[in-house]
C-alpha cells in the first residue's frame, strides 16, 4: 500500500513540476529531457547487465526500433490519430500513450527474437551477438526509404492520390501533398513519468522473492538451475523488459528531437549506455541513475574547452575506473572463493 502511494505521489509530483516546466530555459529543458531518457535507457540496461549479469551491447538497437516505429506511426497515421483523438491535450495524451507502447512493444518483440536464441551464449559471445543485432537494425534503417534512409526521418508526405512517403519522389513533384512532421509530444511529464515507472518496476521486481531469481542467475547459473530456477526464462524476461523500456526511451527521444537519424543509434550510443551502467555500479539503481545524470551533463560542462572535451571526458572515465572499479555505488564483493 505504502509502495503504491509513493508511486502515485511521485507521478503527481512530476505532473506539478511539469506545470512550471514552461519557465525553464529551453537549453536546460532539453538537457533535462535527455537526462530522463538516459536514465530510462541506463536503468533498463542495468536490468540486463547489472541484475541478471548478461552482457548486452546492443541497447541502441532496441532504442532505434522504438523510435522509428513510433515516429512512423505518428506521422504516417497522423490523420488517423487526429481524427480519432483530436488535438487537445487529452487527445494528444492518448495518442502519445499508444505511440509509446507501439515503440515499447515493437522493441520487446525484437528482444524476444534476439534473446531466445542468443541468451544461451555467455559473456563476450552474447555481447558480440547483441552488438551485431544493433548494427543490423541500424544498417537496415539506413537503407529503408520509407523512413528516410540515411538522410534521417522528419515526417511523412501524404499525397492527394493516397501515396505516402518520407521524401518526395521525383515523379510526384507536381502532386499536391500534406506534410505531417513528427509531433512534439514528449515533455517533462511523459519523460519523468516513465523514469518513475521504471524505477518502481525495477525496485518492486528486485525486492520480491521472484526477483531473487535474476540475482541468482548473475551469481551462479549452475547453482540457480539446481535450485529450480529456470535460468533461460529469467534471462529472457530481463532482456525483453529491458528492450521494452529502451523502445519507450526511443519513442520519447523521437517525439522530442522531431528528427531521427540512424546514426543517433550507432555503436557509440550502446557503449554510452553500458558506460553509464558500469560507472554507476552494476546492479545499483541509485548509482546508475546518478551516472546517467553525470554523463549527460558532463559533456555540456566541458563545452567551454571545445576540442579537448572528449579527451577529458574519456580521461575522467579512466580515472573513475581506476579509483572505483565497482562503480559509484557498486558493492565491493569479496573475490570468488576458489577451492
Which chain residues interact with other proteins by CB under 8 A? 3-4, 201, 204-205, 208-213, 215-216, 218-220, 222-231, 237, 283, 331, 333-334, 336-337, 339
DSSP H/E element including 249: helix 231-257
CA-CA-CA-CA torsion for 242, 245, 250, 254, nearest 10 degrees? 180
* Least distance between other proteins and beta carbon 232 (Å): 9
Written as nine digits, the cell of 250 is 526511443
Give dist(CA 44, CA 39) in Å, integer: 8
* Least distance between other proteins and beta carbon 247 (Å): 17
* Least distance between other proteins and beta carbon 278 (Å): 16
128 or 197, CB closer to other proteins?
197
212 or 309, CB closer to other proteins?
212
Give dist(CA 55, CA 129) in Å, integer: 10
229 or 320, CB closer to other proteins?
229
7 or 159, CB closer to other proteins?
7
86 or 325, CB closer to other proteins?
325
* Least distance between other proteins and beta carbon 210 (Å): 4
- At 137 the three-state DSSP class reads helix
50 or 183, CB closer to other proteins?
50
DSSP for 185-223, written as a single string? ---HHHHHHHHHHHHHHHHHHHHSTTTHHHHHHHH-HHH
* Least distance between other proteins and beta carbon 272 (Å): 26
Written as nine digits, the cell of 35 is 537526462
270 or 284, CB closer to other proteins?
284
What is the length of the chain? Answer: 339
* Least distance between other proteins and beta carbon 57 (Å): 22
Phi, psi of 42 (to 5 degrees): -70, -40
* Least distance between other proteins and beta carbon 96 (Å): 23
CB atoms within 10 A of CB 252: 31
DSSP state of 144: -
Give dist(CA 12, CA 99) in Å, integer: 22
The answer to whether 32 touches 24, Cβ cutoff 8 Å, is: yes
DSSP for 58-75, written as a single string? -HHHHHHHHHHHHHHHHH
Amino acid at each position: 500500500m505504502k509502495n503504491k502511494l509513493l508511486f502515485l505521489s511521485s507521478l503527481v509530483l512530476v505532473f506539478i513540476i511539469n506545470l512550471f516546466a514552461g519557465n525553464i530555459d529551453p537549453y536546460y529543458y532539453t538537457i533535462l529531457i535527455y537526462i530522463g531518457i538516459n536514465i530510462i535507457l541506463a536503468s533498463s540496461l542495468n536490468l540486463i547487465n547489472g541484475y541478471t549479469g548478461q552482457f548486452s551491447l546492443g541497447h541502441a538497437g532496441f532504442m532505434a526500433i522504438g523510435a522509428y516505429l513510433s515516429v512512423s506511426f505518428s506521422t504516417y497515421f497522423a490523420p488517423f490519430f487526429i481524427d480519432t483523438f483530436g488535438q487537445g491535450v487529452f487527445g494528444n495524451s492518448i495518442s502519445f500513450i499508444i505511440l509509446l507502447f507501439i515503440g515499447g512493444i515493437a522493441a520487446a518483440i525484437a528482444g524476444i527474437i534476439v534473446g531466445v536464441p542468443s541468451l544461451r551464449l555467455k559473456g563476450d559471445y552474447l555481447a558480440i551477438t547483441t552488438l551485431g543485432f544493433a548494427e543490423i537494425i541500424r544498417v537496415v534503417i539506413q537503407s529503408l526509404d520509407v523512413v528516410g534512409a540515411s538522410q534521417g526521418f522528419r515526417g511523412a508526405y501524404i499525397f492527394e492520390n493516397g501515396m505516402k512517403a518520407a521524401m518526395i519522389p521525383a515523379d510526384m513533384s507536381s502532386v499536391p501533398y500534406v506534410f505531417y512532421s513528427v509531433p512534439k509530444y514528449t515533455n517533462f511529464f511523459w519523460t519523468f513519468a516513465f523514469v518513475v515507472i521504471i524505477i518502481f518496476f525495477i525496485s518492486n521486481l528486485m525486492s520480491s522473492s521472484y526477483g531473487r531469481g535474476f540475482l541468482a542467475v548473475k551469481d551462479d547459473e549452475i547453482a540457480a538451475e539446481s535450485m529450480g530456477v529456470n535460468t533461460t526464462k529469467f534471462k529472457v524476461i530481463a532482456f525483453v523488459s529491458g528492450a521494452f523500456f529502451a523502445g519507450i526511451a526511443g519513442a520519447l527521444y523521437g517525439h522530442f528531437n522531431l528528427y531521427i537519424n540512424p546514426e543517433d543509434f550507432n555503436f557509440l550510443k550502446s557503449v554510452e549506455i553500458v558506460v553509464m551502467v558500469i560507472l554507476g555500479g552494476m546492479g545499483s539503481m541509485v548509482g546508475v541513475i546518478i551516472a546517467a545524470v553525470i554523463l549527460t551533463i558532463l559533456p555540456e560542462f566541458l563545452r567551454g574547452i571545445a576540442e579537448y572535451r572528449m579527451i577529458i571526458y574519456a580521461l575522467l572515465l579512466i580515472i573513475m575506473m581506476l579509483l572505483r572499479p565497482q562503480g559509484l555505488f557498486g558493492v565491493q564483493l569479496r573475490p570468488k572463493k576458489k577451492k
